[in-house]
């Protein structure tokens, strides 16, 4: 039945351009807050979605640096360039609300992706990893491998990233529940130079004092995994995040216990699809079963999964499975399509 549903919706979509005037095709823009390896998957996701669903465009547009003003200017320019649907990672959970409202005001559907805007905003909903939950689960996995009273250190991302505070709080909560102590939190190191400097300095000074490392941002995960490998340490247990090769190899070789996978591809793919549906007459259901997080009450979890040494070889399959599930159920769960 799910296959029929899929074929049916694809047929409907295929007919859509024929029914609508030629220049009404969806041109989706996927806009992160700045350059970062996490979003690389969005480019492919957009391209695939454009192909699979016959979109006018689903383009990945990156501001040249992590700066709110740049993202705003880029978004303003994209409107003028004719894009009519926007998937945005907020440069700031509140600072981006203004531009999101303006974009929504032009009639374009706007969705927050991988990071949420603070309610109320013009975004239809937010789809991303439940980062708090992911950090919580990751820390629990870490603690399951450590003794009672363990000391752990937490390396995390940009302070302007809406997810960072959620992660800090979640790790703290998991540590308290697991009888462990978060000795130090080093934030704002989601870039190679500060990460390299701070993580190495920390390990050089305190490696003997800690039992575990939890990293909740891509770059610190990579740098910490490399550092553990460099000092040849397998005593300190570490749980990382995302799927950088360095981290996966370190898991395979035993330096890192595991990683919390996120689903950037799924976010981009499903997001582009939904944007198109919203432009084709669908509405978000008033009573849709959204989840809540600290920022918004219209949250859709794009999925997260722990990958340990047994799963690393196959992580792509795990994420694809989650994406497929989410995709197949999405329209019926969250959208109201009169046509």
* Candidate list 15, 82, 120, 234; residue touching another protein; CB under 8 A: 82
Stretch that binds another protein, among 63-71, 135-143, 274-282, 330-338 (CB under 8 A): 63-71
- Provide, rounded to whole angstroms, the least separation between the CB of residue 338 and another protein: 29
* Candidate list 230, 235, 252, 313; residue touching another protein; CB under 8 A: 230
* Candidate list 5, 8, 14, 76; residue touching another protein; CB under 8 A: 76
Fill in the per-residue mask, 258 to 297: x = in contact with another protein (CB under 8 A), - = not in contact.
----------------------------------------
68 near another protein, rule: CB under 8 A: yes
Q: Map the footprint of another protein across residues 118-157, applying CB under 8 A.
A: 118
109 near another protein, rule: CB under 8 A: no
Q: What is the 3-state secondary structure (H, E, C) of the chain?
A: CHHHHHHHHHHHHHHHHHHCCHHHCCEEEEECCCCCHHHHHHHHHHHHHHHHHCCCEEEECCCCCCCHHHHHHHHHHHHHCCCCEEEECCCCCCCCHHHHHHHHHCCCCEEEECCCCCCCCCCCCEEECCHHHHHHHHHHHHHHCCCCCCEEEEECCCCCCHHHHHHHHHHHHHHHHCCCEEEEEECCCCCHHHHHHHHHHHHHHHHHHCCEEEECCHHHHHHHHHHHHHCCCCCCEEEEECCCHHHHHHHHCCCCCEEEECCHHHHHHHHHHHHHHHHCCEEECCCCCCECCCCCCCEEECCCEEEECCCHHHHHHHHHHHHHHHHHHHHHHHEEECC
* Candidate list 13, 186, 284, 337; residue touching another protein; CB under 8 A: 186
70 near another protein, rule: CB under 8 A: yes
* Candidate list 92, 172, 311, 331; residue touching another protein; CB under 8 A: 92
Q: For binding to another protein (CB under 8 A), which residues are involved?
A: 34-35, 40, 61-70, 72-74, 76-77, 79-82, 92-99, 101-102, 106, 118, 159-160, 184, 186, 188, 191-193, 196-198, 200-208, 226, 230-231
């Amino acid at each position: 039945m799910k296959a029929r549903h899929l074929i049916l919706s694809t047929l409907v979509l295929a007919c859509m351009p024929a029914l609508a005037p030629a220049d009404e095709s969806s041109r989706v823009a996927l806009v992160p807050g700045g350059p970062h390896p996490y979003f690389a998957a969005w480019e492919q996701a957009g391209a695939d979605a454009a192909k699979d669903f016959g979109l006018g465009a689903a383009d990945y547009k990156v501001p040249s640096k992590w700066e709110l003003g740049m993202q705003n200017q880029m978004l303003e320019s994209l409107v003028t360039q004719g894009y009519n649907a926007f998937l945005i990672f907020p440069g700031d959970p509140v600072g981006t609300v203004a531009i999101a409202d303006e974009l929504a005001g032009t009639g374009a559907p706007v969705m927050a992706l991988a990071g949420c805007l603070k309610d109320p905003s013009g975004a239809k909903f937010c789809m991303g990893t439940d980062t708090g939950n992911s950090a919580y689960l990751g820390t629990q996995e870490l603690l399951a491998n450590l003794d009672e009273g363990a000391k752990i250190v937490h390396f995390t991302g940009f302070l302007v990233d809406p997810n960072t505070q959620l992660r800090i709080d979640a790790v703290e909560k998991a540590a308290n529940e697991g009888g462990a102590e978060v000795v130090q939190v080093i934030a704002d190191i989601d870039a190679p130079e500060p990460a390299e400097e701070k993580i190495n300095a920390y390990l050089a000074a305190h490696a003997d004092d800690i039992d575990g490392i939890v990293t909740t941002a891509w770059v610190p995960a990579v740098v910490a995994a490399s550092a553990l490998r460099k000092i040849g340490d397998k005593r300190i247990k570490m749980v990382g995040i995302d799927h950088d090769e360095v981290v996966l190899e370190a898991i395979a070789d035993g330096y890192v216990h595991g990683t919390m996978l996120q689903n950037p591809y799924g976010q981009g793919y499903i997001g582009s699809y939904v944007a198109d549906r919203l432009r084709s007459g669908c509405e978000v259901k008033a009573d849709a079963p959204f989840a809540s997080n600290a920022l918004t009450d219209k949250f859709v979890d794009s999925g997260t999964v722990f990958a340990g040494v047994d799963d690393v070889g196959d992580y792509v399959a795990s994420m694809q499975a989650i994406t497929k599930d989410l995709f197949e159920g999405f329209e019926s769960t969250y959208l109201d399509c009169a046509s």
